[in-house]
Amino acid sequence: MAALDLETRRRLTLVATILGSSLAFIDVTVVIVALPTIEDDLGLGLAGEQWIFLSYSLALAALYLTGGAVGDRYGRRRVFTYGIAGFAIASALAGAASSGAVLIAARALQGVAGAFLTTNSLALLRAVYADRAGRAIGLWTSFTSVATIAGPPVGGALVEWASWRWIFFLTLPFAVAAILLARAGRCEERSVGRVGHLDFAGAFLTATAFGFLTWGLVEGADQGFPDVWWTFLVAAAAFAAFAVVERRVAEPMLPFRLFRTRNFAAANSETFLVYAAIYGYLVYFTLYVQFLGFTAFEAGLINIPSSLVLILLAARFGAIADRRGPRLLLTAGPALVALGALLWLPVTTKDDFWTLGLAGLLVYSLGLAVLVAPITSTALKSAPSEYAGIASGVNTTVSRVGSLTAVAVIGLVITLVFASQITEGDAIPLVRGQTDPVFRAASIDGFRAGMLVVVGLAIAGAVVAALAISDAEALGKRKAVNEPAPAPAES
């Protein structure tokens, strides 16, 4: 059979990265839709619902840097395909989970595999497309959003009419297809020149720091902070030790010199803030619409507008950032996200959704489309090509740390506001089917407080972009790239 030409292999690689990364995105969006049903089935409470989301995000955040470093050393395509296989196995375990503890553990294993999968997905695009990476990442963003369109409605239907367990089994055939496409699209990777020992001490310390910080935030809200104060001390000590280790080891997992590049530092700072806002909105908005009376299937359908806007516009905004610079887009995008969250503050009934609620969702969706491709492309292209994997790892780590921090902190805010208004009785905020007027009013006030946190995070991200992102540096970096195209793999 004739060997495939380079452009065909590039397209196959793009499709494989889209399909593989979609596995991770499906299990984020679908699980959020399923949380109230899982809580009903397993009796987990709000803290348990948070852990089903956070165990996945925590494992991702802890291992993204390691995933990027492993890909740089041993081959991004190889590590990408192993990540897909591991994700499929963990998904099967989650679908078969017999208790909340087993489900949370399986979700953590999904996060471990997802860290290697997603980081090397973006690094592959950078290596294959070089100075055309902005448009490729825009296409990646657009088409992974197909998973966001199909995932929540299909997942909601499975939850409502079959079982929430099938949302995990849904990923298995896609995993097989992604592995086959990745192998068919093989191209020779450039020599990355980064060999030697992996920084296991750095990986352990980041996992320890993020784990204890998240534990303290979630369990402190549930059990009381006097019982978990020590977790914050452990997290602080681990962060400090990580900084010391990374400055002393010969081959650090996180080369701090990357942050001397203005756009790399600024883009990652903004990523932390805006992804905190994005996921804080997504998780609690999805819980809130079911609290208002929508079913799991209807909650899935409600997410469709966001995905449609991303599919139609994300690649266009990525290409605009490539041509004209990302600063304006990275300022306007978070501002639109903030406005979308503000429009949800008056929404207290199902009927309100069709007016201010829908308007808020559409504005938020436009903000995502303006923001997502330019911020990722800016972060990746501001680093040298030999650090493509680690740059992707840094950016995705920062986004996940932002998301898990926001979900924990906003959950804490909602819990505290709710508890401040409940003088007697035992209730959980934002529970589906909550009818007591006192409990219901307290839940609404808690949700509003959470959305105000989202607004503050998004506005802070817009300010960082306006003050720190450099169009001149972004365009200069793009024009300075003059690397040979990778040759097709030998057949």
Range with the lowest mean pLDDT among 16-25, 161-170, 236-245, 255-264? 255-264
Q: What percent of the chain has pLDDT over 70?
A: 85
> What is d(CA 385, CA 388) in angstroms, rounded to the nearest whole number?
5
Which segment, 25-39, 175-189, 383-397, 450-464, is predicted with the most confidence on average?
450-464
Kindly give, in sequence order, each residue whose CB lies less than 8 Å from that of residue 318, ignoring residues fewer than 6 positions away: 134, 135, 137, 138, 139, 141, 373, 374, 377
- Which of 163, 77, 160 lies closest to 116, judged by CA? 77
What six digits make up the tokens of 387? 């650090």
pLDDT confidence band for 209 (50 / 70 / 90): confident
pLDDT confidence band for 366 (50 / 70 / 90): very high
> Domain 6-188+253-480 is classified in which CATH homologous superfamily?
MFS general substrate transporter like domains (1.20.1250.20)
User: What is the pLDDT, as a whole number, of residue 356?
Assistant: 92
> What is d(CA 35, CA 286) in angstroms, rounded to the nearest whole number?
9
Q: Is 196 left (phi over 0), alpha (psi -120 to 50) or beta?
A: left
Q: Is 293 left (phi over 0), alpha (psi -120 to 50) or beta?
A: left
How large is the average pLDDT for residues 138-143? 74
How large is the average pLDDT for residues 286-314? 82
pLDDT value at 468 more than 60:
yes
pTM above 0.85, yes or no: no
Give me the amino acid identity at 67: G
pLDDT value at 449 more than 80:
yes
User: What is the pLDDT, as a whole number, of residue 193?
Assistant: 46
The chain-wide mean pLDDT, for the chain, equals: 80
> What is d(CA 336, CA 360) in angstroms, rounded to the nearest whole number?
9
pLDDT confidence band for 20 (50 / 70 / 90): confident
pLDDT confidence band for 49 (50 / 70 / 90): confident
Give CATH 1.20.1250.20 domain extents, the chain: 6-188+253-480
Burial of 233 (0-12, 13-18, 19+ CB in 10 A): exposed
pLDDT value at 56 more than 90:
no
Helix axis angle, 6-42 relative to 262-292, nearest 10°?
40
User: What is the pLDDT, as a whole number, of residue 132?
Assistant: 65
User: What is the pLDDT, as a whole number, of residue 490?
Assistant: 36
User: What is the pLDDT, as a whole number, of residue 295?
Assistant: 85
Range with the lowest mean pLDDT among 58-62, 300-304, 374-378? 58-62
User: What is the pLDDT, as a whole number, of residue 149?
Assistant: 65
- The answer to whether 26 touches 147, Cβ cutoff 8 Å, is yes
pLDDT tens, 300-312? 788 777 777 877 8
Residue 365 DSSP one-character state = H
User: What is the pLDDT, as a whole number, of residue 86?
Assistant: 92
- Which of 446, 153, 429 lies closest to 291, judged by CA? 429
